[in-house]
Amino acid sequence: MDVRRRSINSPPSTSAGEPLNLKSHKLSHPLYLTNALFFSLFFSVSYFLLHRWREKIRTSTPLHVVTLSEIAAILSFIASVIYLIGFFGIGFIHPITSRASSDDELELDDDVDAIIAKDNSPIPLSQDDEEIVKSVISGSIPSYSLESKLGDCRRAAVIRREVVQRSTGRSLEGLPTEGFDYDSILGQCCEMPIGYVQIPVGVAGPLLLDGAEYTVPMATTEGCLVASTNRGCKAIYVSGGASSSLLRDGMTRAPVVRFSTVKRAAQLKFFLEDPLNFDSLSVVFNKSSRFARLQSIQCAMAGKNVYIRFTCSTGDAMGMNMVSKGVQNVLDFLQDDFPDMDVIGISGNFCSDKKAAAVNWIEGRGKSVVCEAIIKEEVVKKVLKTNVEALVELNMLKNLTGSAMAGALGGFNAHASNIVSAIYIATGQDPAQNVESSHCITMMEAVNNGKDLHISVTMPCIEVGTVGGGTQLASQSACLNLLGVKGASKESPGANSRLLATVVAGAVLAGELSLMSAISAGQLVRSHMKYNRSSRDVSKVVS
């Protein structure tokens, strides 16, 4: 993997776009002048030395007898040869030529770091803001009410940040506040903000899935993850691509209600599961949204308590709020026929949200997707550096048998959670739903007389949306736009969220393929030691 530092040929710029006046800006002189100088020097001294050599042979002068001009020519010749070897990319000379430039580059880094630190320095507060800070610390103004009192979300974040620093005695230097639209999260994404955390976003791909190419954004701080997924995408691409099937699409919510007797609880269960009552219940449920459509009702009893699992389609939204509103409508409707019903909670964990649960693994939640690909034998050997037989055996002993030995629930895979989390953070999904969304079983078998590899991932609980929540933030919206699934589908409601779910499954397929190959070939530790270790002394930056 070719990792490059930022270019030193063009000086860094400030946020206003003006070039920085750095001491090491002398490095940005035109490189073509240096190249021309050494090329000219090389040919000139070569001609001169050849001419002198011929003269000595003609006059029978010993070759080891040299004049001062010949010594200078020889030294110039050596210098130009060293430069030209580096120019043409001969590897062994790079450590020699890079030492001098690395010192200048570090000097450039130090200057840039100093300017960045200056830009991130605390913003001086006005007298009015100082008074507000003191009022919040004293308790006369609640911290959560700053946005409504000030009418300025950014100002509220800056003041709250200062309050936190003074109250805790801990510095928040390094946590940026500038450059973020705090109005966009008000009442929707995050309460009482004091800044934002920067997570790098990489891309893997192109992922060839169902005949279309996708560049997959992944937000992560784990080294090798994007590179590994990218290698899996390459193996899938050169093998003809992957295909997917969406089996189910339905979000769930399961309230818990209680009766005074088991008999009465059973009567509600029979009523809800009677097909004759489903249409009337659907009408009540569907009033909550123009996209919500009730699909099924499943009941379970524990004594005199009834757990009612509603499943409905939610368009392009992930749909938790939508289904909750529909459930509330039905509970209000049922209260007429079952006035003795005591609603304990709108969620009774039979849903089950943000928890590993067998009901999700078996019944599904959100989007249920299966994705498969056939990887050719030569691709397994040349791109993945392993063989089909080793991969099939490793998958059986690791992902299937090993996970069974561990008592895994939905965890019959190598690292599906890695890819799901990275895509979820990049595209504004709820990262906590990674718990059930990462339920995955990876299957591998040899096909075509044992030459090629068939790999598939089955994921019954991919919970994603392309509208609502964090998807409307600028950065996350840009990542959704990169995939072509931004916002709601106008032609077919729900199409964008379903497409996003299949892309998640396809990326998981690529990640599983690459990691399993690395383990099979014994490359896992070497890769992390090579690419997941920084040589930069970060202690200087921190101090």
- Catalytic residue positions, numbered: 222, 354, 430, 528
- Exposed, middle or buried, 525 (CB in 10 Å: 0-12/13-18/19+)? exposed
Inter-CA distances, 529 with 219, 407, 522, 535, 536, Å = 21, 31, 13, 11, 15
- Exposed, middle or buried, 321 (CB in 10 Å: 0-12/13-18/19+)? middle
> For the residues of 176-194, what is the DSSP string, one character each?
--TT--GGGGTTTT-SS--
Which helix (H) or strand (E) element contains residue 375? strand 366-375
CA distance 537 to 528: 19
Structure tokens at 327: 């459930």
Structure tokens at 376: 């050719």
H helices, E strands: number in the chain: 20, 11
CA distance 495 to 246: 11
Indicate the residue type of 359: V
Residues 6+ apart with CB under 8 A from 49: 70, 73, 74, 77
CA distance 451 to 455: 13
Q: Tell which residue, 351, 328, 349, 332, has the closest CA to residue 341.
A: 332
Q: Tell which residue, 250, 294, 293, 291, has the closest CA to residue 272.
A: 294
Structure tokens at 535: 């040589």
CA distance 504 to 429: 12
Q: CB–CB of 466/497 below 8 Å?
A: yes
Residues 6+ apart with CB under 8 A from 256: 305, 306, 307, 308, 344, 345, 347, 348, 349, 350
> For the residues of 338-358, what is the DSSP string, one character each?
-TT-EEEES--SSS--SS--H
CA distance 173 to 541: 12
Q: CB–CB of 517/382 below 8 Å?
A: no
> For the residues of 244-264, what is the DSSP string, one character each?
EEEEEEEEEE--EEE-SSHHH
Indicate the residue type of 3: V
